[in-house]
């Protein structure tokens, strides 16, 4: 009996410690919004992964209960939102009431963490506007329409590329500003699952590179930023439904002989890294359709 009492006391102390830690963490978050959502998982390892994926110091705090499968989200509403937190959790491999984890990420979870998705698909599918089965397999007309929201992003990128082909730094800066504004207008929550997952990975770098091009009229610096911009734009185009073929092209001379890529709507080579100096230097290495 004494052992049972000690065990009960230890459990209560642990529970109190966890509660106090969560309370202290919540107190450090300004403009706090608190919400409760369903997140699927099994065990303590899941708890650690879910909370680790959702937490951002002084911005977002996640407290997940493995028995109820409910997560309490506490976050600074001026710096993040529920969608961003749940998407990070999905990217870590955990389905939730809004977002479905990528299949390859789920498959890499430890065996003890592989919750039974078959029982959850209806709930998750309803949240995503789908009926049954694997949400990734349902490609609807709405998916195509939502992906087309990115057409303006891609077109602004191509306009920027054309300015660099012409070695016109002033025009490149103006067109980069158009791209920057378009990037900020995209509603991430309206994108299909696969696309918004990729968008989350690249958007910060897309904005940073574009902003650098806006704020300089040195063509060499613009072209340097365009290398990284093109890499992330390629990743985004790969998961999007493009209306027309796009050509991923490569110049072996760019980037101090290391080579660099860009994207074009035309198969003809028009090099944005050298312009008229080596206008036709390069080749198409992939056609995205």
- Please report the DSSP string for 40-100 in residue order: ---SHHHHHHHHHHH-BTTTEEEEEETTTTEEEEEEETTT--HHHHHHHHHHTT--BSS-P
If one counts the domains in the chain, the total is: 2
Residue 228: domain span: 145-288
Tell me, yes or no, whether 176 and 243 share the same domain. Answer: yes
Tell me, yes or no, whether 165 and 226 share the same domain. Answer: yes
The pair of structure tokens assigned to 98 is: 């809004």
Tell me, yes or no, whether 171 and 262 share the same domain. Answer: yes
Strand partners, 73: 35, 62
| pTM across the whole model | 0.58
Q: Taking Cα atoms as reference points, which of 230, 235, 195 lies closest to residue 210? A: 230
- Domain finish residue from 138, 166, 195: 138
Q: Which residues of the chain fall below pLDDT 50?
A: 3, 6-7, 10, 13-24, 119-147
Tell me, yes or no, whether 123 and 183 share the same domain. Answer: no
- Please report the DSSP string for 189-235 in residue order: GGS-HHHHHHHHHHHHHHHHHHHHHHT---HHHHHHHHHHHHHHHHH
What pLDDT is attached to residue 133? 37
Query: Which tens digit of pLDDT belongs to each residue from 17-49?
Result: 444 444 445 558 888 899 999 999 999 999 999
| CA dist., res. 238 & res. 11, Å (int) | 50
């Amino acid at each position: 009996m004494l052992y049972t009492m000690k065990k009960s006391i230890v459990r209560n102390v642990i529970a109190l410690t966890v509660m106090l830690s969560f309370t202290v963490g919540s107190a450090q978050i300004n403009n706090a919004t608190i919400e409760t959502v369903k997140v699927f998982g099994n065990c303590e390892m899941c708890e650690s992964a879910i909370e680790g994926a959702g937490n951002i110091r002084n911005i977002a705090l996640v407290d997940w209960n493995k028995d109820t499968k409910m997560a309490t989200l506490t976050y600074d509403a001026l710096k993040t939102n529920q969608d961003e937190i749940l998407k990070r959790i999905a990217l870590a491999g955990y389905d939730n009431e809004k977002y479905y984890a990528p299949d390859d990420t789920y498959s890499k979870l430890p065996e003890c963490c592989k919750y039974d998705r078959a029982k959850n698909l209806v709930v998750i599918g309803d949240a995503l506007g789908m009926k049954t089965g694997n949400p990734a397999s349902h490609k609807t007309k709405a998916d195509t329409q939502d992906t087309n929201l990115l057409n303006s992003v891609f077109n602004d990128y191509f306009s920027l590329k054309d300015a660099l082909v012409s070695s016109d730094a002033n025009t490149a800066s103006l067109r980069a500003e158009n791209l920057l504004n378009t990037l900020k207008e995209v509603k991430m929550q309206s994108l299909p699952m696969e696309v918004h997952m990729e968008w989350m990975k690249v958007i910060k770098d897309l904005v940073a590179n574009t902003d650098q091009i806006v704020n300089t009229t040195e063509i060499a610096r613009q072209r340097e930023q365009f290398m990284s911009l093109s890499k992330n734009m390629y990743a985004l185009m790969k998961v999007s439904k493009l209306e027309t073929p796009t050509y991923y092209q490569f110049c072996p001379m760019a980037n101090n002989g290391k080579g660099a890529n860009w994207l074009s709507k035309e198969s003809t080579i028009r090099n944005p890294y050298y312009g008229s100096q080596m206008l036709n230097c390069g080749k198409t290495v992939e056609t995205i359709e």
